[in-house]
Structure 1
């Protein structure tokens, strides 16, 4: 199983759109991906895919499962969009740290152990996710805390969207100390599968910054503000946006879709996962067939 979290310390670098488009790229190739978004903000992956309609309702949700208070089966939470299974975010995520700490205190008072940062892994394993899915993608917030720690504990690997700027460079440089700290705190090994530069304009300064990144860079994605804004407006992936909402197909946008396909194939190769029906990179009309 391929499992990774999309993460960047710097905000506004396309972390969520990267997760969404890679998930669809995996699905386009005939794989079965599950996305677990963990960002309590409103502008999250659930919003991007239009599955946040019960965000404020008193319904069963992932947070209840993380604190061992489920109202039903985890599989009943899953929504499917563009061939991708998603566990939608809920407003209870905003208070996840408090809920987890309360559960930990109660467990310890009863002489039981409760790992605050291993609960997502527990929930996914109990639901049989490693057996049911080919790909697991977590999309945590940029800030440190139980959302991020649970995501990394469950996936053990990172894909890092990178802004090719001094700010982005600092974020990447700070990642090594963050990963080391997470490994010590969570007692797991954390790897970086890839860095994905986003918003590249091919300036000399940007090329210098990219040359200094030590992580694998499978593709460099150019400035695509209009495309990504269109995704948010229509609540869909870039693949669907180009296919259904563009009056004409622009070569540079097709190239961007091809890059997401290529990144997905390279990530799959990292763990020896072979996609059964990979499309020609950027083939917008490729039919999604889940084996």
Structure 2
């Protein structure tokens, strides 16, 4: 299984949209995909793909309950499906994840047991046989340091970086390098960066110069697609579903954006040594366009 975390230190970059659309692009190619979003805010991946109906239900089972050893049912019952991908929906209890994990650590230490607060997501996924069930795991933590991010990184060991093509984005990349290095050293794990995806590119000279400074492979540079992404959030769907179902006519630049998401997915798969069994023509959204590439 190839696992990765989509992360940026800067908010509003398009992190969640990239995670959701990359996941759908993996699935379009015939891969089994699980997405684990970990953002306690309402504007999250579960909201984007319309699987957040139980978010405020205090009696519902949740990933947090499983991470602290108090599940109310089997892990498989947490799974919701949207557009062919499996998702563990976010729950309001994610807001208190750090406090819950700290209490579990204190209890373990009181009994003289070791407890790694950053390893609990990886433990839950392993016990649920996720690595044997899925081809791809995508985590989408919030754009802040803390238990959500650290559990995602510890579980996946790989990062995909959406970045703003600006000086602010460059600073965020540099900060993330320090964070990943320190975290890897602290926990004695290796963390790889699969690639970086600039989002919101408008072709200015400063942006062009910034692209030349990115220290990672850049599979695609995505332009300013505000209208498309706002439409996805409004309709609660991926860009693929939005263009196919909610646009009354094809816009070439939007179809090209879908092709970019497909190519990003193929790039990530190649980085992880995963071969998709049925990759579509990049950007194809209609049944008669789904010609398998050689």
TM-score by length of 2: 0.96
Structure 1 residue 19 displacement after superposition: 0.1
Whole-Å separation in 2 of the counterparts to 1:197 and 1:176: 16
Alignment of 1:68-107 (within 5 A): 68-107=69-108
Unaligned runs of 5+ in 1: none
**Corresponding residue of 2:187:** 186
Whole-Å separation in 2 of the counterparts to 1:176 and 1:272: 24
CA RMSD of aligned residues (A): 1.0
Unaligned runs of 5+ in 2: none
The total of aligned residue pairs comes to 288
Whole-Å separation in 2 of the counterparts to 1:209 and 1:235: 32
**Corresponding residue of 2:4:** 4
Whole-Å separation in 2 of the counterparts to 1:46 and 1:280: 27
Moved more, 119-128 or 181-190: 181-190
Aligned: 1:170 with 2:171: yes
Per-residue CA distance 1:19-46 (angstroms, 9 max, x = gap):
0000000000000010000000000000
Whole-Å separation in 1 of the counterparts to 2:209 and 2:202: 12
Structure 1 residue 187 displacement after superposition: 1.9
**Corresponding residue of 2:285:** 284
**Corresponding residue of 1:54:** 54
**Corresponding residue of 2:124:** 123
Structure 1 residue 111 displacement after superposition: 2.0
**Corresponding residue of 1:21:** 21
Whole-Å separation in 1 of the counterparts to 2:166 and 2:248: 33
Structure 1 residue 184 displacement after superposition: 1.8
Whole-Å separation in 2 of the counterparts to 1:34 and 1:25: 12
Partner of 1:13, secondary structure, is coil
Partner of 1:25, secondary structure, is helix
TM-score by length of 1: 0.97
**Corresponding residue of 2:43:** 43
Whole-Å separation in 2 of the counterparts to 1:145 and 1:193: 22
Structure 1 residue 185 displacement after superposition: 2.3
Per-residue CA distance 1:75-118 (angstroms, 9 max, x = gap):
10000100100000000000000000001101111222211000
**Corresponding residue of 1:248:** 249
**Corresponding residue of 2:258:** 257
Per-residue CA distance 1:227-249 (angstroms, 9 max, x = gap):
00000000000000000000101
Partner of 1:4, secondary structure, is strand
Aligned: 1:157 with 2:163: no
Structure 1 residue 133 displacement after superposition: 0.1
Structure 1 residue 178 displacement after superposition: 0.9
